[in-house]
Amino acid sequence: MTKQPESTFKQIIKILRWMFGIPLAFLIGIETMLIIGDLVDFRKYFPNYYVDFGVHEFEFTVIFILPVFLSCLFVPRPKKYAALIAMIITTVFLGAMLYDHFIISPREGSGSSSSFFLIGSEIAILAGSSTGFAISYFVFKKRGWNREVKELESPETY
């Protein structure tokens, strides 16, 4: 029995989900970061610089889990490509941050504390997106992580 081809409407919906799913996931992740940053002033609760730094790094880690996981949630199969695209976007963002900090606008007199904060933030963002990739793999492992392999129908031998 042959499988019926998908309708044009379903194909258009899949293309639209791929086009808007990943940017929507990043938009939700960044908006969540902005809302948490505006609502909660961590310096009031953690006056120590290093504790505040650790809390912010943990916040970056948790926030950057969202774009990778949500991109897998929003796009159709295969979901591993959505996770890889989200990881690539995050890596390009990290490279742009480093390029801006060290090449475009190096601050005079910026000591090791600003570079320490930047490198810590980048490690936290990379850890968050990697954790999001792992969570996405475990959640969608049996629900569309890989492309479905079509079985070839072979002629029956008599």
Query: What does the pLDDT look like over 82-121, one tens digit per residue?
Result: 889 999 999 998 888 888 877 777 666 555 566 777 788 8
Residue owning tokens 């996405």: 136
Average of pLDDT values for 16-22? 87
Is the pLDDT confidence value at 155 over 70?
no
Number of H helices, E strands in the chain: 6, 0
**pLDDT level of residue 61 (50, 70, 90 thresholds):** confident
* Span 1-6, average pLDDT: 60
Phi-psi category of 109—alpha, beta or left, where left has phi over 0 and alpha has psi -120 to 50? left
What span, in angstroms and rounded, lies between the C-alpha atoms of 63 and 69? 11
Question: Nearest-CA neighbor of 136 among 61, 75, 68, 49?
Answer: 68
